[in-house]
Amino acid sequence: MLKIEHIGIAVKDLEKSNEVYAKLLGKPQYKSELVESENVDTSFFQIGESKIELLGATNEESAIAKYLDKRGEGIHHLAFAVENIEAEVERLKAEGFQPISEKPKRGADNKLVFFFHPKTTNGVLIELCQEIK
């Protein structure tokens, strides 16, 4: 793993939260991106080497909508940058971490992403992400 790439935060109202985080961090988001396949709308803020990803649901089918219903707003996942996502996924599966999907897929911010279940990581949803070159 290379670094903490970003921290994902689930929010109810993305536009309002963009303002809140722009105030908090002293600068606006550098990118907003709709991930239609996941029913998620995102905004990214750069903080040094790491980012904050705000996640809003676009409809009730969204995993974010379900998360908000169950747990309310807050930290949703921790994302680690990796060089070789396939290799890292295999390594973590072999270590007994529970994967959420079959294989890496395209996520926001030009990344291949893969998730591990919070059940096996002390309650934290873990994302691996690899920049698509």
Q: Which is nearer to Zn ion, 58 or 94 (CB)?
A: 58
Q: Which is nearer to Zn ion, 41 or 53 (CB)?
A: 53
Smallest gap from residue 77 Cβ to Zn ion (A): 6
Smallest gap from residue 36 Cβ to Zn ion (A): 16
Q: Measured over all CA atoms, what is the biggest interatomic distance in the chain, rounded to whole angstroms?
A: 43
Q: Which is nearer to Zn ion, 44 or 86 (CB)?
A: 44
Smallest gap from residue 11 Cβ to Zn ion (A): 13
Please give the residue whose beta carbon sits closest to Zn ion in the complex.
8
Catalog residues that contact Zn ion under the rule CB under 5 A. Answer: 8, 53, 79, 127
Q: Which is nearer to Zn ion, 8 or 104 (CB)?
A: 8
- Token reading at 63: 């995993």
- Token reading at 34: 């709709």
Smallest gap from residue 64 Cβ to Zn ion (A): 11
